[in-house]
Amino acid sequence: MRVFLAGATGAIASRLVPLLVSAGHDVIAMRRLAPKAGQLRTAGATPVVADALDPEAVIRVVKAATFDAIVHGAHGNPAQLAHPVVRSGLRDNQPPAHERP
């Protein structure tokens, strides 16, 4: 199975990469910054770079990938989550206010 893993170098998702790879899955590992891409390659994953809080970047990497499942292990840092636009989307569990119809 091809698995798209968001937040692949985070505290939890980083532990999933070797487990998924050792179970025979192809892992497409998304992370926010490029420097740890080598770490993901070493673990057997295919790294892609996109900030989970940048919708256009996420759409770009998701459209470019072929996968059977998505695992969302990404989270924003406290400063990002405090941004009013992000906070409004989290609070209402819907798109940020500026993206709603």
CATH number of the domain encompassing residue 60: 3.40.50.720
pLDDT 10s digits, 38-54: 889 999 999 999 888 78
pLDDT 10s digits, 45-94: 999 998 887 888 888 888 898 889 988 887 755 555 554 544 444 444 44
Write out the two tokens for 101.
């119809």
In a domain, 100, yes or no: no
In a domain, 26, yes or no: yes
| 32 neighbors 13 (Cβ within 8 angstroms) | no
In a domain, 84, yes or no: no
pLDDT 10s digits, 8-18: 988 888 889 99
Q: Which domain holds residue 69?
A: 2-76
pLDDT number for residue 40: 92
Query: Among the residues of 1-101, which ranges form H helices?
Result: 13-22, 37-42, 55-64, 78-81, 84-92
pTM (2 d.p.): 0.71
In a domain, 29, yes or no: yes
In a domain, 55, yes or no: yes
| 89 neighbors 96 (Cβ within 8 angstroms) | yes
